[in-house]
Chains A and B, each alone.
Chain A
Amino acid sequence: MKVNSIRFKIGVLFVVILGVVLVVYSTFLYMSLYITLYKELDDGLIAKAKEITRTIDMFVKRYGSGEEDITTLVKKVIVFEELPDPDDLDVLQEQWIHRVDILNLKDNYIAFLDIEGNVFMHSENLKGPIFFPNADEILDLREGVPVYTSSKVQNMKVRAVSYPYLFRGERLYTVQVGASLKSIMHILRNRLIHILASIPVILLVASFFGRLFVSRLLKPVFEITRTAHKISHENLSARVSKVHADEEMKYLVDAFNEMISRLEGSFSAVSDFSAHVAHELKTPLTIIKGESDIALRREREKSEYKEAITTIREESDRMLRVIEDLLLLTRLDFPEKAFIFEQFDLVALLNDLYEQSKPLARKRKLTMSMNAAVDHIFIRGDSLHIRRLFINLIDNALKYTAANGRICIDAAIMNGKAIVTVSDTGAGITAEDLPKIFDRFYRASSIRKQGTHGIGLGLSIVKSIVDIHQGCIEVKSTLGKGSSFIVILPLSVSTELIPH
């Protein structure tokens, strides 16, 4: 797994978060155990210290003569240096013994100090005091506040409490009661070992499951990657399945699939376009090559060569037209470079075209008329391209109208727009062809059957030019009766100022 992979990062994050939580939580548990254990021990110690002082006090009250010094008393009461014969003991004394037994001082360290910190008595397991209180502690003790300390006695860790004891209401002493920390330390060490051992194990297990989980989560990503690898310009059919994807991943998968679909669409448009271009260029080339191949196969009559060369010239012209149309279309895709916008009179341009087309119409036995509702229509545009636009429309009308038909050019201004209609009484366009006639290389099925030369770029050039002039074009057509192409172009500002 790579260091910069999401799986690795999520895995690390997962382990770090879990690790921190575990450490904090374990520390909390450990500390609370530590505090509880120490508090219990301290409470026990202070209880013992209190009990010792109370025992001494009560002994003094019952049996004391009022003369004994504290050393004698302590010896008598607590240490029991000289254990009295049980027969000599009265009931009360027996009770005392019992009471001291209950205190169970055998495992404790006990020392008695005067208030200056000098030891004057201690239990046998000690060689001196459990610890020497420092000045601050002595101050506390003087004020009756017990002091807790952890210290070492003969290399043993010992917890001790120093308890102030006011003997006979006059002299202040300190009773130190201590206990070994061995058992507490043992418990705490065990707990610490458990914690330290369990955290890595938990983290290991968690990271394993975490990785498994992340892998499942990222499955759609791997699938997208696999699909993306499969996709090439030759095969755009692959799609990612979103069956197992989570909500967010579904969006990603959807977006990805839609993107491929769009790519597929535009790729097939491009490939259709280039197939058309190839076909349109290869057809004349095939004729040129075929005619020359055949002409050169053997010696021929002069007239045969002439015929072949004529065909070749015609086909070269056809190729040239295709190439020019294609170049024009390409240039129309980047109008800012190809267009020179200026103001000109549309009516004058149409009249000019009308005069040019009349002889052609006459040759094909068609009547042609031109009708302008106003004398001038000024528009802003590239006059060369606008001329091309109407040449294409008139050419189409001439091409697809049978003899004795009629072609009309009408120009008018309506709602502040220039309206030019080129209508014919030709074959018309079927309803299914109508939406596609402006597509590049589209030729209506009826036209294709006629075998008329045309490559299906004329109308798409018309559409591009109209679009660049921010105009629009509409077609009305009835099959067998004719078609009208209505071009609507915006007027230049000055036309609106000219009164008409």
Chain B
Amino acid sequence: MRILLVEDEKKIAHFIERGLQEEHYAVDIAYEGEAALFMARTNPYDLIILDIMLPGRDGVAVCRDLRRNKLDVPILMLTARERVQDRVVGLDSGADDYLTKPFAFEELLARIRALLRRKSGSPTALLRVADLELDQLSHRVRRAGREIELTGKEYSLLEYLMLNANQVVTRTMICEHVWDIHFDSETNVIDVYINYLRNKIDRGFSSRLIHTVRGVGYILKEVLQ
């Protein structure tokens, strides 16, 4: 899951970025409104965290602009403004959620999960394909009741594949949603990670879940025999 964080206060941006990365999110940061607009238009983010008080174009204007451009990415406003009218303006400008500073980091994470869930259409934090289970809360993965240890990137990749289960996922999509802006898409890192995942998830089980679609990408699905 790739998130755009728009925040002019560098120290706030820094700790949010670290916290989100620890939760296996790929995070890009914009320090002002114009940059945020450019980045949101050129990259398919899964979620945008938007501060309101920004130099130049403020958060509300950025939000309106994004919605006017038919971008339906979930937007979470994160701001020090807590008055009812500020919340109303923020939500009416097109934001999906509103969280005031200072905030508990756990709450921010829960709200991010809720927004992503709403987008993917899954009602809980537990993703399931066949006998493979992924708990977005505890980050635990099990197959047929057996615990599977994954690294951060492996987890992100599997989460993305499971959120898009039964659909073909291209390498570009994976690179855009699982890695951040600094990722060099020319390498075969994605294939390497898919291979790691296969070793951990499919090896030793009767049915394979990760399939290669030649020339296009990958698909995670249950093939019934």
Contact = CB atoms under 8 A, between A and B. Distances in A.
**Are A and B part of the same complex?**
yes
Interface of A: 275, 278-279, 282-283, 285-291, 293-294, 297-298, 311, 315, 445, 448-449, 451
A286 B22 contact: no
Contact of A286 (B19, B82, B102): B102
B15 A290 contact: yes
Given A289-B102, A449-B32, A451-B8, A283 B15 contact: no
Contacts of B22: 294, 297-298
Given A282-B101, A286-B103, A290-B16, A315 B8 contact: no
B53 interface: yes
Interface string B72-115: 00000000111100000000000000000111111000000000
19 contacts: A278-B82, A285-B102, A286-B102, A286-B103, A287-B11, A287-B15, A289-B102, A289-B105, A290-B12, A290-B16, A290-B19, A290-B102, A290-B105, A293-B19, A293-B106, A294-B22, A311-B15, A445-B56, A449-B32
A311 B19 CA distance: 15
B9 interface: yes
A311 B102 contact: no
Nearest to B31: A451
Interface in B5-25: 8-12, 15-16, 18-19, 22
Interface in B25-47: 31-32
Interface residues of B, number: 25
Interface of B is mostly: loop
B55 interface: yes
Nearest to A282: B80
B179 to A, nearest CB: 22
B38 to A, nearest CB: 16
4 smallest CB-CB distances across A and B, nearest first, come from A293-B105, A286-B101, A286-B102, A282-B80
A121 to B, nearest CB: 110
Contacts of B55: 445, 448-449
Contacts of B101: 282-283, 285-286
Nearest to A318: B11
Contacts of A282: 80, 101-102
A315 B102 contact: no
Given A293-B105, A294-B18, 4 more contacts: A289-B102, A289-B105, A290-B12, A315-B11
A283 B12 contact: yes
A367 B53 CA distance: 36
Contacts of B106: 293
B3 to A, nearest CB: 15
A294 B105 contact: yes
B54 to A, nearest CB: 9
A377 to B, nearest CB: 40
Contacts of B15: 287, 290-291, 294, 311
Contact of A279 (B11, B53, B104): B53
B105 A286 contact: no
A447 to B, nearest CB: 9
B37 to A, nearest CB: 16
A173 to B, nearest CB: 110
B11 A278 contact: no
B104 A293 contact: yes
A293 B12 CA distance: 12
Nearest to B53: A279
A293 B16 CA distance: 10
A485 B213 CA distance: 70
Interface in B124-155: none
Contacts of B83: 275
Contact of B80 (A286, A289, A298, A311): A286
Given A279-B80, A286-B102, A289-B104, A294 B12 contact: no
Contacts of A283: 9, 12, 80, 101
B31 to A, nearest CB: 7
Contacts of B10: 451
Nearest to A287: B11
Contacts of B31: 451
B105 A287 contact: no
Nearest to A448: B55
A205 to B, nearest CB: 54
Nearest to A449: B55
